Chain A
Amino acid sequence: MAMTDEGNGTAERVRRRDLIGGAAFRGVVIGLSAGIALRVLGQPIWAARILAWTCGLLVVFPVINITSVLIDEIRRRDWGFALIAVTVLGLLAYGLISRLL
């Protein structure tokens, strides 16, 4: 049976995701506010840098979600779904590395 966030002992995953996700979310809010404030104050170069980093931070959320699912599947020793999660992470890494580095 598949898991939901409430069932099958995934409460730890939800706590883990909320802890890291909450911190990243606060970072996004601070970054966006700072970027727009700098733009309004006439600092477009610094504003663009901060907003670019904040957009990068937004990418962290999906990676956290997939990594969290991967950890759960490894703990369950369900290697089929763990392999799919690794493949998805690999596709994300390929998409990011091949385009941005």
Chain B
Amino acid sequence: MHAADIYALAAGGLAGCLGALVGIGGGVLLVPILNSIVGLPFTEATAVSLVGVLATSSTAGLAHRGLLNARLAILLLFFSVSGSTLGAGMLTRFPESTYKLVFGATAALIAGIMFVRLNKRNVLPVDSEPGVLGARFHDHDTGGDVVYRVTRVPVAAAVSFGAGMLTSLVGIGGGILIVPTLNSLCGVPLRAAAATSVLMIGVTAVPSLAAHWSHGFLGDFHFAGMTAVGVLMGFQVGLRLSPRAPVHWLKLIMAAILAIVAAKYLIWR
């Protein structure tokens, strides 16, 4: 096993661990690690990252139960999968430097979101009517029922469409954009937003992965396999660490790392 294999395994492990701890797919960290440290071309790094995103979504989907808002997910998936399908058609249209710039700008945006991200409770009185897209679930932490209503659906639809396009173009899952939008702007409690986003990122990655696969960006699947194994192991580690992990500090550290990654792709190219 070569050093690059170990790095790919570790990158997957880090992404999986963060998926469990912070609730993101990890693509935004996988791409720069695979590109800059493992040494894969940017296109192959994005393709391998999509396998990692799918593995995180599949693992997390089995772990997160009870909070998924299936109707909201299916409605937003129409927009994110449309964006992903459209983005898949643009995969080879521009030079690689363009995709790196888009990735750098996305990393900067996400770093900003992570620094200022709010955690709104968005809970209505128990006897409230949640509406067509809202939902009611039992919160095991508080022991009470939670009711919420979804607002500003066009905003969520627009962000989902953009996240879908970015999934295809730069290999990120888009959960890091969808979760804060649903929580801060659309009235969805954080845990329900994260569970809904986990389902969405896996589905959204499918057309993107198919396009990368058809262009041969996955190579001989070796790094995809190593990264996926890392994700599966890292997610289990993250689940065990999550009760005592300093998630707030982890988010701040991750935001700082993303700011450096953004600078690398935007300034020090």
Proximity string of chain A (34-59) to chain B, C-beta cutoff 8 Å, 1 when within and 0 when not: 01100110001001100110110011
Q: Which of A28, A44, A99 contacts B58 (CB 8 A)?
A: A28
Q: How many residues from B make CB contacts under 8 Å with A?
A: 60
A99 touches B214 (CB 8 A): yes
Q: Tell me whether B210 and A85 are in contact (CB under 8 A).
A: no
Docked complex: B60-83 residues within 8 A CB-CB of A: 61-62, 65-75, 77-78, 81-82
Q: How many whole Å from A97's CB to the nearest CB in chain B?
A: 9
B3 at the interface (CB under 8 A from A): no
Residues of A in contact (CB 8 Å), total 51
Contacts of B62 in A (CB 8 A): 18, 21-22, 25
**How many inter-chain contacts with C-beta < 8 Å in the A-B complex?**
178
Pair A100/B130 contact, Cβ less than 8 Å? no
Q: Which residues of B contact A24 (CB under 8 A)?
A: 58
Task: State whether B224 touches A51 (Cβ < 8 A).
Answer: yes
**Pairwise interchain contact B232-A29, C-beta atoms closer than 8 A:** yes
Measured between beta carbons, the chain B residues less than 8 angstroms from A32 are: 225, 228-229, 232
Contacts of A36 in B (CB 8 A): 225-226, 229
Main SS of the interface on chain A? helix
Interchain CA distance A72-B71 in the complex, whole Å? 10
Q: Are A65 and B78 in contact (CB under 8 A)?
A: no
Contacts of B70 in A (CB 8 A): 2-5, 10, 69, 72
Q: How far is the CB of B108 from chain A (nearest CB, A)?
A: 29
Answer whether A4 and B224 are a contact pair too, CB < 8 Å, given A22-B62, A33-B229, A95-B211: no
* Given A4-B66, A21-B62, residue A62 in contact with residue B132 (CB < 8 A): no
Please tell me if B248 contacts chain A, counting CB pairs below 8 Å: no
In the complex, per-residue mask of B125-143: 1 if CB is within 8 Å of any chain A CB, else 0: 0000111111111100000
A84 within 8 A of B: yes
Q: Mark B207-236, 1 if CB is under 8 A from A, else 0.
A: 101110110001011101110110010000
Cβ distance B145 to chain A, nearest Cβ, rounded Å: 9
- Please determine whether A35 and B209 come into contact, CB atoms closer than 8 angstroms: no
8 further contact pairs, Cβ within 8 A, besides A1-B136, A52-B221, A59-B209: A28-B58, A35-B225, A51-B221, A51-B222, A59-B206, A62-B206, A65-B199, A95-B211
